Chain A
Amino acid sequence: MIIDMQSLLDLFDGDRDGAKQILEFFFDSAKEQVKEIREGIATANRNQVKVAAHQMAGATASCGMLGLSRQFRELESHSDTASPEALSAEICAILDVLHAGELEYASLFPEQDS
């Protein structure tokens, strides 16, 4: 389980809509941050990688996604020294988990098909 739904509901005093909104916002902003990370890796801008990974470490922790938070912190700590290939590998592994989180979110809050 990637999303700690109980903690989130706790935070929102049981308000599912509130929890849903924040998760939606999280996944939207995660897409942007991951894009920043990938761009940073591609252009060898390590600071960009570091900053985005740092933000994601905090955001994921705030959503109760502690495993993912750990992964982002690892990425942040490696951003200065690891090779681009290793960083790419890390962000790809993180993406797996993020996507699984999105799917969990979708199953927690099913929507009508477009």
Chain B
Amino acid sequence: MAAEVKSSVILIADDDPFIVSLYRERLMRMGHQVCTVQNGEDAIRRIQEDPPGLLLLDLNMPRLDGRQVLQFVRQQSSTPDLPVIVLSSACAAEAIESVNRFLPTRFLIKHQVSPKQVLEEIRTVLAEVAEQGAAKPVLAEVQVSEPAIPVPGVEGVAWVNDLESAANGEQRRDILLRIYRTMQEDLRTLKAANVLSLPFQFGEVLEQFFEAFYAEPDRISISAPSTLRRALPKLADWVGRNGEGLVTPEPLLLHSFEKEVRQGMLETCRRPGLQPIVTARVESQWDLVAENDFKTVVQHVRKLAAARKLVRYLESTDLTLKLRVLILVPGTDWAPCQADFQNKALQFQALPLMTSEMLLNLFLLMF
């Protein structure tokens, strides 16, 4: 008899819709009929009604787990040899041993096999059944637990939590200083040189900001109209109260389309003797940046259209050769337009959680 695999009815028992979708689609393309259930009870019911040619079985399911389903299958007179491929994330010794008792045909651990390998195993098992009438169980070996793997960025996120729970500006400032000192000891390099449209991690923003500022302490331009409008009075007060002994603030380039905002910013900054350069048009802002030898620009934009306009403008000049531009954008829905900003000499950071308080604290650290 030829060892061709006939199409079979394959039952997938898994409560993860993604896994179900992935394997259902692939198995149907291979010519098999596929049924799916999301819990152990339904799996048993389905097997009793009409035993499939093969069962692809997850272990962690609601309403009877995979182990109980396997036990049922092996103990029923109608299905003792039903090919069962266990596909699970569980790799603890106890899980494997408890399942091995009931002789699964295969025990595959999700993070140790690719979907392609799973499909190959299904093919192999079905071929064995076609040739020999049954497939011989290959039991999983008990693995030694992997050591814990440190999750990168956890510390940075803990800082974000600290910052957000700080009671007042002074506490926030102390936390930011602590973050900065820690980063000084272990400063991570900025991620890729070209466009980074990264999801928000305030710690990473701080890192980039500090690296930009402290590595190149020449002028920094910050453009964040209404955010700035709220932050500036507090900044002015703080500078006014703490002016003595401060390093002279670097010139601050402020930009807003709104006249009222520009006037407000100008008045606010003059009081404590800050040296704002205030502009209205995007082009003016960038001309001034070039003329005044700014090294870093942090541009806060709210809308995709504004970001595009900015990028187009910068591309029409050679400013990006001289400047590090960090574009702060709200939200995480910038991914679809990421391609537009690829390979530009810009850094583009998504900041869904940037608040005026956080921006203020960045200012405080600058000064």
A contacts, CB < 8 Å to B: 7, 10-12, 18, 21-22, 25-26, 29, 51, 54-55, 57-59, 61-62, 64, 66, 69-71, 73-74, 76-77, 85-86, 88-90, 92-96, 98-100, 102-103, 105-107, 110-111, 113-114
B contacts, CB < 8 Å to A: 15-19, 21-22, 25-26, 58, 60, 88-89, 110-112, 114-116, 119, 148-149, 151-158, 160-161, 197-199, 201, 304, 332, 335-340, 342, 350
8 Å CB contact of A93 from B26, B151, B338, B340: B151
Across-interface contacts of A85 in B (CB, < 8 A) = 158, 161
Residue among A55, A70, A107 having the largest count of chain B Cβ atoms under 10 Å: A55
Across-interface contacts of A98 in B (CB, < 8 A) = 199
A103 & B111 in contact (Cβ 8 Å cutoff): no
CA distance A55 to B58 in the complex (A): 10
Q: Contacts A11-B116, A55-B15 known; A71 to B151 CB distance under 8 Å? A: yes
B21 & A25 in contact (Cβ 8 Å cutoff): yes
A-B pairs, top 4 by smallest CB distance, nearest first, are A99-B199, A61-B111, A92-B157, A93-B153
Q: How far is the CB of B12 from chain A (nearest CB, A)?
A: 13
CA distance A112 to B81 in the complex (A): 52
Across-interface contacts of A86 in B (CB, < 8 A) = 154
8 Å CB contact of B25 from A22, A66, A103: A22
Q: Contacts A93-B152, A103-B338, A106-B336 known; A73 to B89 CB distance under 8 Å? A: yes
A11 & B152 in contact (Cβ 8 Å cutoff): no
8 Å CB contact of A113 from B149, B158, B304: B304
Across-interface contacts of B161 in A (CB, < 8 A) = 85, 88-89
CA distance A85 to B158 in the complex (A): 8
8 Å CB contact of B336 from A22, A61, A114: A114
Across-interface contacts of A55 in B (CB, < 8 A) = 15-16, 18
Across-interface contacts of A66 in B (CB, < 8 A) = 111
Chain A's closest residue to B145 (CB) is A77
Across-interface contacts of B89 in A (CB, < 8 A) = 54, 57-58, 61, 73, 76
CA distance A92 to B115 in the complex (A): 27
Across-interface contacts of B22 in A (CB, < 8 A) = 22, 25, 62
Across-interface contacts of B148 in A (CB, < 8 A) = 74, 77
Chain A's closest residue to B162 (CB) is A85
B158 & A89 in contact (Cβ 8 Å cutoff): yes
Residue among B15, B17, B119 having the largest count of chain A Cβ atoms under 10 Å: B17
B338 & A106 in contact (Cβ 8 Å cutoff): yes
B199 & A107 in contact (Cβ 8 Å cutoff): no
